[in-house]
Structure 1
């Protein structure tokens, strides 16, 4: 199997992007939500240009799916690059109050300027943006402490922009997931597919599952103190990762071995592999290491 080519840009995203750029003029603070397992792949390359000088709060959601060591490594890396990263688990509400305070603090400068001009303060206007399925709607529901916007673990649920008031201090704009018109970085596109952050019509499940295993085995080249990602797969499915001749198996051959338990149904095996990762059954695995990171423990595997 060759490496899959992945492109996905449904019509509603193009429309939402136009509306979002228009609404950004009215916004004081931008909450940019990324997937903690792939913090770089879930950064839209055009967002920096759209935001300009506006205050930004960086949110890394799904902190429950990465190890404490990975969190610390990314926190350090972002800090060294001039950004504070707020880690959240929108599903459970972890880290959400810190995020709310950060958004209010970031918008304070706007009301300070209004005060100087003799104007009354108004609620801070914040927008939540990010790729599809990174947890934006779940985050908004947590901020509101009630379910106001539809939230499902699949891409493309939110399709229109809408304002919701959190309190007298802050209003939030819920925006549909945005994605580049063309996914030029195919290694990033692959990670989006593995993490279910783009629609499944965009990719071939078997190819992505095989590439996922290859990616994990590649990450194992990084020094670890607690064994590697390959160990998580080997233990979970009772598979060997090397042939009798001592040659390492590829993702494709490991997928074929796994399919033997599903009547040689490769599609079913591929779905199992990806779903086990997406549900955290393979353990706390991330798919990206901070650039130049070489000796930090990045995984905490659980074999159940």
Structure 2
């Protein structure tokens, strides 16, 4: 019988193996961003409100180099509203203006258009048209944000491809108009991962929110960390939503859940993969309520910036792979150009 009391909850989650996912199109995308930066007036750096610290990519600091920037925490409908003041204060110490958005709500998205108008009107001679580049890690909702801005600003339809999996946008896009007067254009970019995330737990959080392809991460580890985090937050909604008893043991949890949803093979054997995917999908869809996976107390924030925000150069192998992929990308683009002539 399951231990319904959960007398001893884990206080620490130990995992030493980090996750690396930095395909070549990301390096190519960074180069394209850098090449286009001189034509860009404003940066909208998109992050995931469920992981306000873990969705920061240090590499962008080298690319944007002092450009005017607004940090947008997207998917705020999936994170507790109580974190917003704390996150704003943290980012203010780093001189970063911060907004929170839900792409399903026009009023929420309009905040960004207001910043664009404010910037354009501050110096009409300098900004006869305003160009905004939207950047961020994979699957933080950049393309959804662009489509929402276009819908809100021009009452027009979808302009950027979207998807639940990371890596849908693979190249820097052309300009997408989102306001008529003043004239404001957006440039979409590929989601760019950190080549090496030094903290394995940070990597797990990014993978849990869909920023790393599922076949790259160990799904059992993701499910175990999610269970640990739900219990640490005393977020017992998961037990009610799933209709199972509360537990802190991942094997017991998967057996309970698999039995509940009928994820069993012949002979009653648990279909572990199916059960884990059900659990992860429920979290990503917000079925367990609003959650923040990052610790935001003063000590944790300080530790994060010390351990995660140091420059992390590419390894020799990563650099070579990225270079080859970038060369393939350029060859493909040349071939497409010839076909269009």
Report TM bin, short chain. 0.7 to 0.9
- Secondary structure, aligned partner of 1:125: strand
- 2: distance between equivalents of 1:291 and 1:52? 29
Summarize the alignment of residues 1-304 of structure 1 with structure 2, pairs less than 5 Å apart: 3=15, 5-79=18-92, 81-107=94-120, 111=124, 114=126, 121-145=127-151, 146-162=157-173, 163-168=175-180, 169-218=183-232, 220=233, 228-229=234-235, 231-241=236-246, 249-261=248-260, 262-263=263-264, 264-292=270-298
C-alpha contact (below 8 Å) 1:190/1:208 kept by paired residues: yes
- 2: distance between equivalents of 1:154 and 1:13? 15
TM-score by length of 1: 0.81
- 2: distance between equivalents of 1:286 and 1:251? 21
Deviations 1:233-289 (A, max 9, x none): 2222333335xxxxxx33444234323332211111111111101011111112123
Alpha-carbon shift at residue 64 of structure 1 (Å):
1.0
- 2: distance between equivalents of 1:78 and 1:209? 30
Gaps of 5+ in 1: 115-120, 221-227, 243-248, 295-304
CA RMSD of aligned residues (A): 2.4
TM-score by length of 2: 0.73
Aligned length: 272
Pick closer, same or farther for the CA change 1:275–1:94 going to 2, 3 Å: farther
Partner of 1:300: none
TM superposition outliers: structure 1 runs of 4+ over 4 Å? 107-112
Alpha-carbon shift at residue 54 of structure 1 (Å):
0.8
Gaps of 5+ in 2: 1-12, 152-156, 265-269, 301-341
C-alpha contact (below 8 Å) 1:55/1:107 kept by paired residues: no
Please identify, of 38-47 and 166-175, the stretch whose mean Cα deviation from structure 2 is larger.
Answer: 166-175
